[in-house]
């Protein structure tokens, strides 16, 4: 069966570990285990028997994840191999052939491809650059109909860094409620906000809600491949059945490290470090964009680990990304990988000195490629 190539992940996988400067990463500079854990925790890992863990996630881990949401308990959580597996499982739990799914654009486009492969029909509603990336909820309302099974949200948004207001969330809930649609929200950047105020979850404000989270982005631990689904007990039980047909279980080491990570003091330390890095690097990217104000447009993100920058040069974003990589050793993400050409996404969760050097190369590359 044909499935649309997932350009973002395939192209990143080909080149992100071989280029001198990779600015496609949308998370934060990863932690090392000896930075993250105590000596006692490291010793516990060294003595951990590497058997199979509980396939839906250990009870202590699911309890820690449940504590991140209002009113949830361990049976409201399914642990997955990253939020990407969670997306796959969620789609197969909620969607059937012929259903429609209305998806926020720009976005991480995995769900779009999965929906097409399943015989569902994806439709778009857009965040609007002219409104500082606020969503066009009239467009959402117009796209929703009796066939709409899911409204898919990313909040904080990848790649724009926009965070929905409470009023916008309530309006989305009202629109979903009119047709009985599910709200599926990617919340992997929850905890990575510039203002230190944790983003509200859709959990608790609507009955038909399923969300995904994980440790790859806001927590700077992508190598654990640890994500989750959270929602009502019945839907989580159904999603566990699909999970039995995918990876069956996440690794026992990842689950135990995740338990340590989500202990409150460790979690606070991680998120505070990453928010400080984000604030510093946002100012750096703002300064770069100011120098290029005749050629680029930059709206400061409210959260996440990336900057989404529009440009007016006459070159496609994929071609610009390819030439920067081949000719200058700099890898950036093309806007058309997120459903919007003539934008680039630059990861701003890197160490400051690395980002500074990357921006210097970007300046040189754009000048030569675009003959500015």
Domain boundaries, the chain: 7-32+266-369, 43-263
pLDDT at 4 over 80: yes
The Cα–Cα gap between 341 and 319 comes to 11
CB 152 within 8 A of CB 165: no
Q: Is the pLDDT of residue 316 over 80?
A: yes
Q: What is the pLDDT of residue 372?
A: 73
Distance CA 141, CA 263 (A): 40
What is the third-level CATH fold of 43-263? 3.40.640
Mean pLDDT of 37-43: 97
pLDDT at residue 1 is higher than 80: no
Report the pLDDT value the prediction gives residue 370, as an integer from 0 to 100. 86
pTM as predicted: 0.96
What are 182-214's pLDDT values in tens digits? 999 999 999 999 999 999 999 999 999 999 999
Q: Do 43-263 and 7-32+266-369 have the same topology in CATH?
A: no
Per-residue pLDDT averaged across 24-37, rounded? 95
Percent of the chain with pLDDT over 90: 94
Yes or no: say if 114 and 91 are a contact pair by the CB < 8 Å rule: yes
Residue 130 CA to residue 167 CA, distance in Å, equals 19
Tens-digit pLDDT profile for residues 104-154: 999 999 999 999 999 999 999 999 999 999 999 999 999 999 999 999 999
pLDDT higher than threshold 80 for residue 2: no
* In CATH, 7-32+266-369 is 3.90.1150.10: yes
pLDDT tens-digit readout, 220-261: 999 999 999 999 999 999 999 999 999 999 999 999 999 999
Residues 344 and 158 sit within 8 Å (Cβ to Cβ)? no
Q: What is the pLDDT of residues 62-88, one digit of tens each?
A: 999 999 999 999 999 999 999 999 999
Q: What is the pLDDT of residues 259-281, one digit of tens each?
A: 999 999 999 999 999 999 999 99
């Amino acid at each position: 069966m044909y499935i649309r190539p997932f350009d973002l992940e395939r192209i990143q996988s080909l080149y992100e570990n071989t280029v001198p400067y990779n600015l496609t990463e949308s998370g934060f500079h990863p932690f090392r285990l000896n930075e993250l854990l105590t000596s006692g925790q490291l010793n516990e890992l060294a003595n951990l028997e590497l058997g199979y863990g509980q396939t839906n996630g250990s009870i202590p881990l699911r309890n820690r994840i449940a504590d991140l949401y209002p009113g949830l308990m361990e049976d409201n959580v399914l642990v997955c191999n990253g939020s990407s597996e969670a997306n796959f499982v969620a789609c197969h739990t909620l969607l059937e052939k012929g259903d429609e799914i209305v998806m926020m654009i720009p976005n991480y486009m995995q769900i779009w491809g999965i929906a097409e492969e399943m015989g569902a029909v994806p439709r778009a509603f857009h965040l609007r650059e002219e409104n500082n990336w606020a969503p066009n909820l009239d467009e959402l309302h117009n796209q929703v109909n009796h066939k709409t099974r899911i409204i898919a949200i990313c909040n904080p948004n990848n790649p724009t860094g926009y965070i929905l207001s409470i009023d916008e969330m309530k309006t989305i809930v009202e629109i979903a409620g009119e047709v009985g649609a599910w709200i599926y929200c990617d919340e992997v950047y929850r905890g990575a906000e510039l203002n230190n105020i944790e983003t509200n979850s859709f959990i608790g404000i609507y009955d038909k809600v399923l969300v995904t989270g994980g440790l790859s982005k806001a927590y700077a631990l992508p190598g654990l491949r640890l994500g989750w689904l959270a929602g009502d007990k019945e839907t989580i039980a159904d999603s566990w059945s699909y999970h039995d047909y995918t990876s069956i279980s996440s690794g026992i080491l990842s689950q135990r490290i995740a338990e340590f990570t989500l202990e409150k003091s460790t979690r606070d330390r991680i998120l505070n470090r990453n928010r400080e890095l984000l604030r510093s690097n946002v100012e750096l990217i703002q300064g770069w964009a100011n120098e290029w104000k005749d050629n680029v447009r930059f709206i400061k993100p409210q959260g996440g680990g990336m900057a989404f920058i529009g440009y007016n040069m006459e070159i496609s974003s994929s071609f610009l990304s390819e030439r920067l990589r081949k000719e200058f050793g700099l890898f950036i993400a093309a806007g058309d990988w997120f459903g919007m050409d003539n934008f680039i996404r630059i990861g701003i969760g890197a160490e400051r000195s690395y980002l500074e050097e990357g921006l210097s190369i970007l300046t040189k590359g754009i000048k030569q490629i675009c003959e500015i």
